[in-house]
Amino acid sequence: MSNHNENHNNPSKPVTEKPVGNAAGFVKYFKQDIISGFLVFLIALPLCLGISLACGYPAIAGIFTAVVGAILTTFISNSELTIKGPAAGLIVIAIGCVESFGGDGAVGGFTDGDMTAYKLALAVGVGAAVLQILFGLFRGGILGEFFPLAAVHGMLAAIGVIIMVKQLPIALGVQGKGEPLEMIKEIPHYFATMNPEIALVGGVGLAIMFLWPVLQKSIVFLKSIPSPLVVLLVTVPMGMYFDLLHTHGYEFNGQQYEVGETFLVQMPDRVLGMFDYLTFPDFSAYSPEHLGNSLTWVAMFFIIGSLESILSAKAVDVLDPWKRKTNFNRDTVAVGVGNLVSSFVGGLPMISEIVRSKANIDNGARTRFADLWHGVFLLLCVALIPTVLHRIPLAALASMLIYTGFRLTHPSEFMHTYRIGREQLVIFLATLIGVLATDLLMGIGIGIAVKVVIHLINGVPVSSLFKPYLDIISKDDETVLVHARKSAVFSNWILFRRKLVQVGIDDRRNVVLDMSDTNLVDHSVMEKLHELESDFGDVGLNLEIIGLDDHENLSAHQYAARRRSMEKLRRITIIVPTEVSESVCQAIIDLGATGYTLSECLGVGRHQIYEANGSLPVQSAMIKIETIVPKLLGEAIFDFCRKQIAPHHPNSICTEQIDVLKKEAFVPRETTLA
């Protein structure tokens, strides 16, 4: 264990032991986990408060979520390094749910109407949590394998835009609500009417969030100090200087403005006052009056929350220096249980959160108990020093979320998507615009529909959109050869992957996957095949992908979609004596050839030339048989000729690759190879 610090910072060095989150691991890695848990707590505290307020919930609800997630999921999930808690990606759903019940959260103060909407939203959270638990129990964790990557990134970019436009008015100290596109139009008005003191707090916080990472690159000792903590250390004194605890007016540039306690985080006013904020769901959300609306938001929380959580857990597995693998079904159950308890005490939905999980890894965490410790520190903080937290300006939290939103929709996301392929950028933009114009589910549905249309244009048969065509060509004790036909795309990937895992990992065999007969292999599948190669390697097996040499890359990116530019087949030419021509024709038909041509010819071989001693050799009557077949069938015909014809009869056998206009005429309806 003496070299684990080096291994953590330099994963290329050999790792000799995988830390395990059990009782022995709790003791053995106590120091590393509690230090990382404390550092993650410093990042999580302001983000939990800010995300909760942005969701239309009381600020303390975010702390409830993180505490419940840290304590419960640690003992249910096997994901060692993920941090469970509220996430920016669910802000859009949560505030949309609250607003659909007539609330607007902290905007203008938390009123009775806001409390009613909050309780109804908690009941929606209960429904979504139950679905998550059932989904995990019935092995639905494979959901994360379905959605096309460009559509997922487009959805996250749209969430980033919505977070920024929703938080901008709070950072400027003005009122602002409505649909995202409407609020974008109002941005000039927000700046024209901003409250100068509040805007200064928000502006300073935003400047710190953007500049701190730059300073950390050049000043080494700053790397261990998270930017959200710096924002609090600077803006809390600013709020005290502006006396935000007391309502009063001030004049600036000839205009009157008012500030007061409404611009601060609402928190308990005494030690252990957090228990006064425990809130029970209002299940009238499922009454006939609200049922249709509630079920819509249950579906939103369930689908988007589960998807984000699974994708985050997958990303953390990639970053884990010890390459431990999360059981996504078990993790989904853990998140569902956490959400169920969180909703019953007044918390908002949680997921496996990628930013805090990445910080957890960077801070040297070893096991899942780092997540537990981060929750313990949050609990102690909100229980023992709530009056200190009350001094945090809302504008400071808004600045952190604006930065988070900017990172989700960073211009580099657009450039990265474009480099993968222009068609990926089209899907990305269609999803982004669809989400902004409608909602999350409709938006990602639009992105998926656009991708399907692009696939059809690129020659994907309708029959293979949801069904993979995989043939077992040959297998032995160590290796199985799998031949893929028609297409390998995001919508048939789940079944595609299941087949490869079944014949490979489950049966303990290496797999050679021949993709030469696919019309299209899309970007999602290219990237997921790379992940699957790692999964095979982790269990000591090999997945080899062949047959893509004849495909056209849609961009220079290593995981760009591959499209077969022409239909490439094999023309087999067989020249044999007349008396065996019928048996050869029958054999190639039995093997699967869909047709052939015959022509009579005269020919001589080298033995006849040698025997003629310089004279013109005697010519023999021969039959030339030509057939056009797929590559694998051509190899089978070659194998037949080598074993059955060549040892017994004069012959000439050759092959060449050709382009054909319509491949279907030359492909057997059903493979006859075994």
| CATH at residue 524 | 3.30.750.24
- Quote the mean pLDDT of the chain: 90
> For residue 646, what pLDDT is reported?
85
Q: Is residue 647 part of a domain?
A: yes
Q: How far is it, in rounded angstroms, from Cα 511 to Cα 501?
A: 9
Q: Is residue 646 part of a domain?
A: yes
Instruction: Give the CATH number for residue 651.
Output: 3.30.70.120
- At 269, the pLDDT band (50, 70, 90 cuts) reads confident
Q: Is residue 448 part of a domain?
A: yes
- Amino acid at site 421: G
CA nearest neighbour of 81 among 379, 313, 413, 247: 313
Give the HSE-up count for residue 273: Cα atoms under 13 Å, Cβ half-sphere.
13
**Whether residue 550 sits in one domain with residue 428:** no
CA nearest neighbour of 55 among 129, 123, 121: 121
**Distance set, CA 29 to CA 70, 320, 352 (Å):** 17, 16, 22
Contact (Cβ atoms closer than 8 angstroms) between residue 192 and residue 166: no
> For residue 655, what pLDDT is reported?
87
- At 16, the pLDDT band (50, 70, 90 cuts) reads low
Q: Quote the DSSP letter at residue 261.
A: G
**Whether residue 453 sits in one domain with residue 522:** no
Report, as an integer, the average pLDDT of 474-500: 92
- Taking 3-state DSSP, the helix, strand and coil percentages for the chain, each rounded to the nearest 5, stand at 60, 15, 25
| Residue 401 reports pLDDT greater than 90 | yes
> For residue 390, what pLDDT is reported?
93
**Whether residue 552 sits in one domain with residue 527:** yes
Q: Phi, psi at residue 515, to the nearest 5°?
A: -100, 10
| Residue 412 reports pLDDT greater than 50 | yes
Q: Phi, psi at residue 271, to the nearest 5°?
A: -60, 135
597: helix, coil or strand? Answer: strand
HEC readout, 266-299: CCCCCCCHHHHHCCCCCHHHHCCCCHHHHHHHHH
Write out the H or E segment, with its range, that includes residue 266: none
Question: Which of 291-300, 306-315, 655-664 is most confident?
Answer: 291-300
Contact (Cβ atoms closer than 8 angstroms) between residue 336 and residue 51: no
**Distance set, CA 662 to CA 221, 470, 537, 566 (Å):** 65, 21, 39, 10
> For residue 77, what pLDDT is reported?
94
Q: Quote the DSSP letter at residue 254.
A: T
Q: Is residue 2 part of a domain?
A: no
> For residue 568, what pLDDT is reported?
66
Pick from 426, 457, 488: which residue ends a domain?
A: 457
**Whether residue 482 sits in one domain with residue 401:** no
Contact (Cβ atoms closer than 8 angstroms) between residue 66 and residue 315: no
- Amino acid at site 435: V
Contact (Cβ atoms closer than 8 angstroms) between residue 394 and residue 281: no
Q: Is residue 151 part of a domain?
A: yes
Tokens representing 494? Answer: 């789940």
Tokens representing 79? Answer: 């994901």
**Whether residue 393 sits in one domain with residue 431:** no
> For residue 670, what pLDDT is reported?
54
> How many residues does the structure list for the chain?
674
Q: Which residues contact 19 (CB under 8 A, 6 or more apart)?
A: 25, 28, 29, 80, 322, 366, 367
| Residue 9 reports pLDDT greater than 60 | no
Q: Phi, psi at residue 158, to the nearest 5°?
A: -65, -40
Cα dihedral 514, 518, 520, 525, rounded to 10, equals: -40
> For residue 144, what pLDDT is reported?
73
Total domains in the chain come to: 4
**Whether residue 617 sits in one domain with residue 525:** no
Q: Which residues contact 230 (CB under 8 A, 6 or more apart)?
A: 208, 212
Contact (Cβ atoms closer than 8 angstroms) between residue 442 and residue 430: no
Q: How far is it, in rounded angstroms, from Cα 558 to Cα 612?
A: 58
HEC readout, 33-49: HHHHHHHHHHHHHHHHH
**Whether residue 64 sits in one domain with residue 177:** yes
Write out the H or E segment, with its range, that includes residue 244: none
Tokens representing 413? Answer: 């996301």
**Distance set, CA 280 to CA 13, 120, 412, 594 (Å):** 50, 10, 43, 70
Q: Is residue 351 part of a domain?
A: no
Pick from 564, 597, 616: which residue ends a domain?
A: 564
Q: How far is it, in rounded angstroms, from Cα 94 to Cα 363?
A: 30
Q: Which residues contact 96 (CB under 8 A, 6 or more apart)?
A: 297, 300, 439
**Whether residue 150 sits in one domain with residue 26:** yes
> For residue 370, what pLDDT is reported?
96
| Residue 22 reports pLDDT greater than 50 | yes
Contact (Cβ atoms closer than 8 angstroms) between residue 260 and residue 268: no
Contact (Cβ atoms closer than 8 angstroms) between residue 370 and residue 33: yes
Tell me which of 14-23, 267-276, 357-366 is least confident: 14-23
Place of tokens 């009613």: 116
Other CB atoms within a 10 A radius of the CB of residue 319 amount to 15
> For residue 284, what pLDDT is reported?
96
| Residue 460 reports pLDDT greater than 80 | yes
Pick from 538, 564, 590: which residue ends a domain?
A: 564
| Residue 230 reports pLDDT greater than 70 | yes
**Whether residue 173 sits in one domain with residue 82:** yes
Contact (Cβ atoms closer than 8 angstroms) between residue 599 and residue 585: no
- At 669, the pLDDT band (50, 70, 90 cuts) reads low
Report, as an integer, the average pLDDT of 338-364: 94
Q: Is residue 6 part of a domain?
A: no
Q: How far is it, in rounded angstroms, from Cα 125 to Cα 118?
A: 10
> For residue 671, what pLDDT is reported?
46
Q: Which domain holds residue 558?
A: 462-564
Q: Convert the pLDDT of each residue in 342-352 to its tens digit.
A: 999 999 999 99
Q: Convert the pLDDT of each residue in 33-83 to its tens digit.
A: 999 999 999 999 999 999 999 999 999 999 999 999 999 999 999 999 999
482: helix, coil or strand? Answer: strand
**Whether residue 555 sits in one domain with residue 409:** no
**Whether residue 528 sits in one domain with residue 392:** no
Q: How far is it, in rounded angstroms, from Cα 644 to Cα 639?
A: 8
**Whether residue 584 sits in one domain with residue 550:** no
> For residue 57, what pLDDT is reported?
95
Write out the H or E segment, with its range, that includes residue 271: none
Q: How far is it, in rounded angstroms, from Cα 582 to Cα 374?
A: 79
Q: Convert the pLDDT of each residue in 581-634 to its tens digit.
A: 899 999 999 888 888 999 998 888 777 787 777 778 888 888 999 999 888 888
DSSP 517-579: EEEEE-HHHHHHHHHHHHHHHHTT--EEEE--TTEEESSSSTT--EEESSEEEEEEEEEEEGG
Report, as an integer, the average pLDDT of 451-468: 91
Q: Is residue 350 part of a domain?
A: no
